Structure 1
């Protein structure tokens, strides 16, 4: 890949991570960025992630080979319209949004079909903003590409190469396929997660006993509820048909299993849990999906003075940077009394090897 210039309109978690990944790729990449958050822009410039800071969406983006729209979907549409007078026919305009149909429709209305290619890196975090961006966020993550009827093979191939340079895995599909799939495996789960959290909140005692005990499995499956509420409001509004359809199917399945519980239908209950277990066990054991794993290991440690310090010192001696540590008090669904959160999958593998080598019982995930 020869020298290229990449523009970023929005430099939060995803935009910042893409810019970092491209800078770390070994390719010659020049970056231009605009964001309403001037503090984030300044930090990115100081970090060497951004080469040129711009104060507005203007002709300074004309020389870009690729321009990434990294704001919420509706804001991306507005920014694309502002960009239109400054776009070169050679440029690939792309976005990173979780919903593609509305974006594609709007790009065709603006006459931007020949330059637009939709993009969605299937990576993220409950933490937001440039300060939490990192190049490894995209490592081995699926990156969905949605072309328009006017997309040339040359532009598509170039975009694929760019995605690979980030360390991600490009997958090409239609925008309709993308929106239905992500509704099922990302959007609806976020709605369900938020509803579970709200169920506990509304059912809790004045003393907050449920909240105190809500750790282990419950805390893990509802972790995604800490994501940006603005982003998820936007996603539900722009992918409403798919989310609503799948939620309807989910509600029907809940009604069926409630009937089985009420009637004490042993066979139906067994099939419900067993079929889910068997299908779940076929999933690829990697963090390449839309809901990222939290890169944690669970370790059994003795209840004695200094046991925690020994484990942390052991990891530090091997150059493994620990992100967070917690004692798991509710271990109904957990396999270790100590939970260690790390920065990426490589650190998880290294930590597991080190701890198992010293005789500790370790479970990943």
Structure 2
């Protein structure tokens, strides 16, 4: 079955960004937005992420694909409602950050209604929420997980895979269990750590306001994800509770070992541990492919001149070097610094040499 009509339930950041991306697909004839928040619906209409709005009954009746882009804790109840009105053969997917519990329940329920449920998880996002932050390039070069089980309809999976790759994403087909184990360590645990780093800094700030005023870039980078949507992360932690707790226990063991080395003033042991960890981090991009694409980055310092970023990007583009992502890190009166991300280590190395040859101040980031 070809996908021509899409209904998106939940037009927040991810839902509205999907709408914008799908509107560029010439095969998609209509994108319908469904949301309990009328303000979000109006914003989605204003930015042309959707063609029209509807309630869930009317909105899903003609849909070939229904994307449920609501917090993880609400996905099951929304899909239950969708199944009341969806036509036979409709593909239903979600964008939730946990998969096992959802797939196990919703795959069976959907099959009883002659619909096809395929779990999804675009590995992208922002600490800013709502359709006002939507970006049709949000999925560009991002990993987009689609789950596969023994019950998955292969033709529907192929169709959905083509669709997400049309957004510029890199599709990854894995089991729900593999997905949840991986993100517990690579996504959910880091968020938990970032939240508690912020809480720790807040404790000290009560007595010393310089703590926050002197916070360094490393702390800001490490805790940036703590600004994520609280409702979404509450649902993630509870829905992937067992695997998150397992990861926390391992982290606590490692932290206790590290604490003991400091407590015992074990200088040699501490330095060895730090060196081994540094080496492991440096080797990380060279290990076998995992859930996330490897990024090879440069930190580039630019002068305060018109089109300074454009000139550097043009220099690399004319040399055939593709920049995967650009992020402005700091802006000063005399210029600023940006982060350039490349998909391949060879591109990072070529860009580094070329920028150096043209007298740019540039540093490789490991």
TM-score by length of 2: 0.82
CA distance in 2, matches of 1:149, 1:292: 30
Alpha-carbon offset, residue 360 of structure 1: 3.0
**Greater relative contact order structure (CA < 8 Å, 6+ sep):** 1
2:320 match: none
Structure 2 residue aligned with 1:326, among 330, 337, 342? 330
CA distance in 2, matches of 1:278, 1:248: 23
Tell me: CA distance 1:111–1:360, structure 2 relative to 1, closer, same or farther (3 Å): closer
Residue 271 of structure 1: aligned partner: 272
Between stretches 182-191 and 212-221, larger displacement belongs to 212-221
**Counterpart contact for 2:116–2:153, Cα < 8 Å:** no
**2:138 — aligned with what?**
137
- Tell me the CA shift for residue 41 of structure 1: 1.9
Match of 1:180 in 2: 181
1:121–1:144 CA contact under 8 A, matched in 2: yes
Q: Aligned pair in 2 of structure 1 residues 177, 325: CA closer, same or farther (>3 Å)?
A: closer
Is the CA contact (8 Å cut-off) linking 1:11 and 1:130 kept in structure 2?
Answer: yes
CA separation of 1:68 and 1:352: change in aligned 2, threshold 3 A: farther
1:258 matched to which residue of 2? 259
What's the counterpart of residue 198 of structure 1?
199
Q: Which residue in 2 is equivalent to 1:96? A: 95
Farther off after superposition, 106-115 or 182-191: 106-115
Deviation at 1:8, TM superposition (A): 0.1
Deviation at 1:144, TM superposition (A): 0.8
Could you tell me whether the CA contact under 8 Å between 1:68 and 1:95 is conserved in 2? yes
Partner of 2:147 in structure 1?
146
State how 1:71-150 maps to structure 2 within 5 Å: 71-108=70-107, 110-112=109-111, 115-150=116-151
| Alpha-carbon RMSD | 3.4
Cα shift readout 1:54-97 (whole Å, capped 9, x = no counterpart): 1x210431221111100001211111111111122211100000
Conserved 8 A contact 2:356-2:362: yes
Single out whichever of 110-119 and 246-255 deviates more from structure 2.
110-119
SS in 2 for 1:36: coil
Please tell me whether the aligned partners of residues 107 and 118 of structure 2 are also in contact (alpha carbons under 8 angstroms). no
Equivalenced residue count is 343
Relative to structure 1, the CA distance from residue 254 to residue 319 in structure 2 (aligned partners, 3 Å threshold; closer, same or farther) is closer
Which string of whole-angstrom CA distances, capped at 9 and with x for unpartnered residues, describes residues 277-296 of structure 1? Answer: 222223349xx977999x99
What is the rounded CA distance, in whole Å, between the counterparts of 2:206 and 2:355 in structure 1? 40
Structure 1, unmatched stretches of 5+, are 302-306, 329-335
Distance in 2, matches of 1:201 and 1:291, equals 33
1:1-365 pair list within 5 angstroms: 4-54=4-54, 56-108=55-107, 110-112=109-111, 115-284=116-285, 297-299=299-301, 308=304, 310=305, 312-315=306-309, 326-327=330-331, 338-340=336-338, 359-363=359-363
In the aligned structure 2, how far is the partner of 1:163 from the partner of 1:69?
A: 15
Describe the SS at the equivalent of 2:183. Answer: helix
Q: Secondary structure at the match of 2:56?
A: coil
Q: Is the 8 A contact 2:53 2:59 kept in 1?
A: no
SS at match of 1:136: coil
Give the SS at the match of 1:58. helix
Unaligned runs of 5+ in 2: 315-325
Taking the aligned partners of 2:50 and 2:293, their CA distance within structure 1 comes to 27
Mapped contact 1:32–1:51 kept (Cα < 8 A): yes
What secondary structure, in the 3-state scheme, does the structure 2 residue paired with 1:283 have? helix
Q: Would the aligned equivalents of 2:11 and 2:41 in 1 still touch at CA under 8 Å?
A: yes
Q: State the shift of 1:147 in Å.
A: 2.8
TM norm structure 1: 0.82
| Partner secondary structure for residue 326 of structure 1 | strand
Deviation, structure 1 residue 159: 1.3
When residues 211 and 38 of structure 1 are mapped into structure 2, their CA distance, relative to the original with a 3 A threshold, is same
1: CA distance between counterparts of 2:32 and 2:309? Answer: 38
Greater shift after overlay, 229-238 or 108-117? 108-117
How much does 1:112 deviate? 4.2
193 and 38 in structure 1: CA distance in 2 versus 1, 3 angstrom threshold: same
Runs of 4+, deviation exceeding 4 Å: 111-114, 288-293, 295-298, 316-320, 322-325, 351-358
